[in-house]
Amino acid sequence: MAPHGDKSDAADETMVAKAEKRPISTILIVLAMQSEALPVVNKLNLSEDLQSVFPKGVPWVRYRGFYKDLNINLVWPGKDSSLGVDCVGTVPASLVTYASIQALQPDLIINAGTAGGFKAKGACIGDVYVASDVAFCDRRIPIPVFDLYGLGLRQALSTPNLQKELNLKVGKLSTGDSLHMSTQDEASMVANDAVVKDMEAAAVAYVADLLKVPSVFLKVVIDIKDGEETTAEESSQRFAALERAVTQVTDFINGKCLSDL
């Protein structure tokens, strides 16, 4: 996925080349849950934006602040107005990502969060993965070409130095709107070689790709999807691991260009 650009291919390429050579300045961190967001907000000393850049009445929340040389914006889709639970899943994630890109014009998106992992592919609880590419596992449209549209495979920004320096695991990420995994979802993930499964990344990638913003997907494995399926309870330890991963990635990004990642 390339940085912003909307005119001709040549203009796009020039903008990509320029963006790749100047230090990253504005970052958009997209998280799905309040308990994922708050430890990062505290660690990076961000404060809630009370003059919202979002439409009046939506539950979306933005935290902002300067951390080292970076202008950080962290957004989460807030709580469902009638049920009071975090707005997890693809629809809120894509909406808040779209509105945030429009308002903030970030150089880079980091979609961070918790995820399930596949033991057979080497994932263990506590592992931190950076996705090589992301796809949907629950959009089955068995018609030629629409099947590929449903899969929605998109590549993340290539980050070999980041992966090496922080010793992150790399693998394919699958997204579906259910926490539960159906046998069809599982078949799709096996066919797609997925190592981790979440509920937002492919939706964030879709929007980032539409608006040409490079994006990185950082996921901490909190439960195992194959073999004995375990669904983890919320635990502060897991969110602390996510906070550490986001902080390390942010520290690494500081002062670097996209092409240094």
Catalytic (active-site) positions: 36, 223
Which of 3/77 has CB closer to ligand FMC? 77
- Identified binder of ligand FMC from the candidate list 200, 203, 205, 258, rule CB under 6 A: 200
The strand ranges marked E within 69-208 are 70-76, 108-117, 128-136, 154-155, 169-175, 194-198
Which of 25/235 has CB closer to ligand FMC? 235
- Identified binder of ligand FMC from the candidate list 41, 115, 151, 261, rule CB under 6 A: 115
94/124 Cα distance (integer angstroms): 28
Contact between residue 220 and residue 232 where contact means Cβ atoms under 8 Å apart: no
DSSP string, 13-25: HHHHHHHHHSB--
Least Cβ distance, residue 183 to ligand FMC (angstroms): 15
- Identified binder of ligand FMC from the candidate list 116, 152, 171, 214, rule CB under 6 A: 116
Q: Is 114 in the site for ligand FMC (CB under 6 A)?
A: yes
Least Cβ distance, residue 56 to ligand FMC (angstroms): 25
Q: Is 197 in the site for ligand FMC (CB under 6 A)?
A: yes
Output the CA–CA distances (angstroms, integers) from residue 17 to 5, 109, 168, 253, in the order listed.
Answer: 11, 18, 27, 18
Question: For residue 111, which of 49, 143, 52, 154 has the smallest C-alpha distance?
Answer: 154
User: Locate tokens 């003059």: which residue?
Assistant: 51
Which of 70/246 has CB closer to ligand FMC? 246
> Where does this chain bind ligand FMC (CB under 6 A)?
32-33, 88, 113-116, 179, 197-200, 222-223, 225
